[in-house]
Amino acid sequence: MIIKNGPNIRLASQLKLSKLGMRAFHRVSAFIKPTTRMIQHFGYKSTKAKFGINEGQLLKLLEGESIPADLDLDDGYVILDLKNRWILGLGLLINGRVRSQLPRKEIRAIMVKENPVTYDKHTTVNGYQ
């Protein structure tokens, strides 16, 4: 877990705590994996193992496919950077191809598409202000 340091942590430690701060890592079978949220928060500071993708590539990843990655890296986790703008989380690089390690229940293809289903162009502003 990670939490911002401060003088009140000592006070709070006297309480019965259920959770503290943000989970930074979790176990995935025999491996330790950084959490998506930790990577989103700190991944922009990374100078290595970043893989820039576009929306089309992200859609493929979300549909369970792997995408080719010309990266001078060993197999392992890479940070997925959407449009060089948003750190999404991690992918897994194996033999020159990357698969998504993003939480499937939290990021869905509809988020990436233009989503006309969710945008109602005919809705007008409610009159109350």
Partner 1 sequence: MQIFNDYRKIIPEFDLFREALHSPLPKHIRVNTLKTDVSSLIGSLEEKDVHLEKIFGEDDTLYLAPALKFPGNQIAYFLGHIHPQALTSCLASIVLSPKKNSYVLEMCAAPGGKTSHLAQLMDNTGLIVANELYPSRHIPLGHTLERLGVLNTTITGYQAQEFPLKQRFDYILADVPCSGEGGFRKTTENSQYTEVSEKQKLPDLQKKIILRGFDLLKEDGEMLYSTCTYNPEENESVVSFLLQNRDAVLIPLDANSEYEKGILEWKDEKYDTELRKTARFYPHRINSVGFFMARIGRRR
Contact between 70 and 62 (Cβ < 8 Å): no
One residue of 30, 45, 47, 119 binding partner 1 per CB under 8 A: 119
Which segment (8-16, 25-33, 45-53, 71-79) binds partner 1 by CB under 8 A?
8-16
Q: What is d(CA 49, CA 55) in angstroms, rounded to the nearest whole number? A: 19
Q: Residue 120, interface with partner 1 (CB under 8 A)?
A: yes
Q: Which of residues 62-81 bind partner 1 (CB under 8 A)?
A: none
Size of the site for partner 1 (CB under 8 A): 44
Q: Residue 112, interface with partner 1 (CB under 8 A)?
A: yes
Query: Whose CA is closest to 96, among 73, 64, 80?
Result: 73
Residues 6+ apart with CB under 8 A from 20: 1, 3
CB-facing half-sphere around the CA of 67: CA atoms within 13 A: 21
Work out how close the CB of 92 gets to partner 1 at its nearest, in angstroms, rounded to a whole number.
19
Q: Residue 45, interface with partner 1 (CB under 8 A)?
A: no
